Amino acid sequence: MESSRDPTAFREFEHTGWEAASRGYDQHFARLTSETVPTLLAAAHVAKGMRVLDVCTGPGMLARAAVDLGAQVVGLDFSGKVVEIARRNVPEAEFLEGDAQALPFDAENFDAIVCGYGIIHVSDPRSAFSEMHRVLKLGGYLAASVWHAPEPTNGFGLLFGAITKHGNLDVPLPHGPDFFQFSEPAKLRAAFEESGFVDVTVAGVDQTWIMDDPFGMITAILEGGVRARGLLMAQTEAVRSAISTTIANGIKQFRSVDGSYRIPMPAFVGSGRK
């Protein structure tokens, strides 16, 4: 598993970014990432009466759904601003500010653990996997989601294709692990198995990001993203304009009969038992 070559700088970059982007993420991305929730909860075998940990909880979509199933939920995120939003969204759950790579819990504390797109934002994914394995009870399941790799027919493919065409991917941002290092089933499976999980499965999840405006994806990234936003903001204004126009033109192929734009944003959900 790849880790950051400068974990302190990368963590500060991510933390500062999420403190600023928390409301934008809740507004723009949550409706997309909520589509993964049913698959994640099913893969973690979440059920009534369980004690469930939601790592990198974000606005609390997974926590909300787990509470609705009757679980006792603890959500954790390293951004205080994100935790504030989660507490407002899911007052029935407990939310803590903390580090996914050093979980503030005793060993074998939770019946199930879920992590929605969080493993791609930590400086050392191996440590995060190890910590989730440590605090999970024997026989319990971890389920984690990651994005599908960029392809011409999905949203990330449009984004990175436009940046490659008009801009520069090699910009002076703190080094972080490859955002898509787990975006192939075999690699996601290997990460679980290397961390001590058994009965590992990986499932693809088809998702659609619905926009009213072909420029909506760029707006969402600039207002609710961190790493992708940093990549865009490192380009010149003229380059950003060309990137935005190229993405908008590409999104027009996904225009629906109702006038909305339905952008494919597929994901993978991996799960394993301790």
pLDDT tens per residue across span 72-103: 999 999 999 999 999 999 999 999 999 999 99
Q: What pLDDT score does 29 carry?
A: 95
User: Measured between alpha carbons, how far is 117 from 57 in angstroms, rounded to an integer?
Assistant: 9
List of the chain residues with pLDDT < 70:
none
User: Measured between alpha carbons, how far is 253 from 263 in angstroms, rounded to an integer?
Assistant: 9
Q: What pLDDT score does 95 carry?
A: 98
| pTM of the predicted structure, to 2 decimals | 0.96
Q: What pLDDT score does 245 carry?
A: 97
Q: What pLDDT score does 243 carry?
A: 96
Buried residues in 79-88 as b, exposed as e (16+ CB within 10 A): bebbbebbee
Question: What is the enclosing helix (H) or strand (E) of 232?
Answer: helix 227-233
Q: What pLDDT score does 25 carry?
A: 96
Question: What is the enclosing helix (H) or strand (E) of 97?
Answer: strand 94-97
1, 145, 187, 191, 270 from 184: Cα distances, Å: 13, 12, 5, 11, 11
Q: What pLDDT score does 261 carry?
A: 97
Structural tokens at position 104? 């503030």
